[in-house]
Amino acid sequence: MFSLSPLVETSAYRCCSTKRGIAGLSPSLCRPSKAYFAYVAGLLAEVGMASGLDTLCGQAYGAQQYKKLSIHTYSAILSLILVCLPVSFLWISLGRLLLLIGQDPLISQEAGRYIEWMIPGLFAIAATQPLMKFLQSQSLIFPMLLSSAATLCIHIPLCWIMVFKSGIGNIGAALSISITYWINLAILVLYIKYSDSCKATRAPISMEAVSRIVEFLRLAVPSAIMICPEWWSFELLVLLSGLLPNPRLEASVLSICLTSISLLYTIPSGLGSAASTRVSNELGAGNPERARVAVRVVISITIVLSLTMSVSLLILGRVVGYAYSDEKEVVDYVWKMIPLLSISVVMDSFQGVLKGIARGCGWQHIGAYVNLGAYYLVGIPNALVLAFVVHTGGMGLWIGILSGSMVQCALLGLITTFTNWQQQAASASERVSGESCHRENVTYVSMKDDFLSLWARLAASEESLAEARRKKKKVTSWLVNKEFQLSSS
């Protein structure tokens, strides 16, 4: 299910790549890399913000506060729809913006037309991503798997028809992607509405969802910062490749490398999402030791998985280029990049899982600082120096970003190693029970007023003074204990 988006984009890319033999387009225009940069900027902003639900929904489900899952999900959908508005304006203006920064006019024109037809899909993703987090937090993975498989089966023939039979070429690929995302959304909505599996967590939309938007944004914004800058930095490589000698070759090769890495990343991304769900559920349920064990298990799996993918990529490296292009120049360049890609696979596997653990714990703000520092203080500066000062071209750009990935993995690994899981469980309990604590405070104030009134009545009654003092002492003692409990919580 996590590979749906990359598979959809890859199939569209391949259709356009085949089309180039008819239309005479270069590979860089088949899936306009500059349009793809803007697409990823908008898409990952939504995916990143939706990851705030990994913490909110996962811990609420672990604490058995099931109705909160729907409330948090509605808040996320409303928030992401609002985010779509400025992103849509950016996409509409993309062609002109690329011309302003000196990009190739033909590429700029194609990118602008391509991205405009991706806008409908952006709004579908705004609802799809929160719904996927809603299901994921309940470990309802199989429905999402079926939905993704069915959607992909529809997309492949749809994309072929739109590209080859509709007469609109590359635009057909973009439009088919948007239609595919809406189909996936419709399937998920129908499942959630009518499935008995979601009966306990399903709730009608209410004004409470609006009131909780701020609570969602507190985690959503750092969640986006924790995820987006990394992928934006990789897309920035493709954008910078337009400034290198032979920009069309460099852009084509880096686009192929990025698409391949994105496709492989879906495996550790899925593993990271599973880790996020398990860790958040256990912390929400107050089981810190089980959360610790889950982390150890997922790290062990990641070691085996990352090495397997890396070795497989080295063995099958020549096939990667031919999967996207038939031009020998492009295929040979991709083959030279394979050793770097194999290292990137290992780094991406670990950071994908470590970020999943961070989301399960609610460390989004820490992950945001790590991400920004690793890629924008280390990765991108190194890439610029290697590509434009040392003149190593596209390989230098990739090596620079790879150094940022290494720094990120090291920092997140250290943070996870020295985590106090007891404290994380306490923080999760505080986050989930915040509303109930507020209700207890209101109840306490009301009971304090009732006590004063009660004491006045007791003093004026015909009961003995000793009996009145005994009752006063008993009630006072109860209030003191209650006030202590509330202050400590």
| Dist. CA 92–CA 111, nearest whole Å | 10
pLDDT at 469: 61
Question: Token pair for residue 240?
Answer: 């910078």
Total count of residues recorded for the chain: 489
pLDDT at 484: 54
- Helix ranges (H only) for 325-433 are 328-361, 364-373, 380-384, 393-417, 421-432
Q: Do 253 and 261 meet the contact criterion of CB atoms below 8 Å apart? A: no
Q: Which residues are CB-neighbours of 70 under 8 A, at least 6 positions away?
A: 134, 201, 202, 203, 204, 205
Other CB atoms within a 10 A radius of the CB of residue 83 amount to 17
Residue listed under structure tokens 């493709």: 238
pLDDT along the chain (489 residues), means of 10: 55 55 40 58 83 90 89 94 91 82 74 85 93 92 89 87 78 87 94 91 89 90 86 79 82 84 87 91 91 94 94 88 83 90 93 92 90 92 92 90 94 93 88 54 39 48 57 61 57
Output the pTM of the full model.
Answer: 0.75
Q: Do 76 and 220 meet the contact criterion of CB atoms below 8 Å apart? A: yes
Candidates 13, 11, 4; CA nearest to 255 is 13
| Dist. CA 424–CA 115, nearest whole Å | 42
Question: Token pair for residue 358?
Answer: 């961070």
Q: Which residues of 281-294 are buried (b: 16+ CB within 10 A; e: fewer)?
A: bbbbbbbbebbbeb
Q: How many helices (H) and strands (E) does the chain have?
A: 22, 0
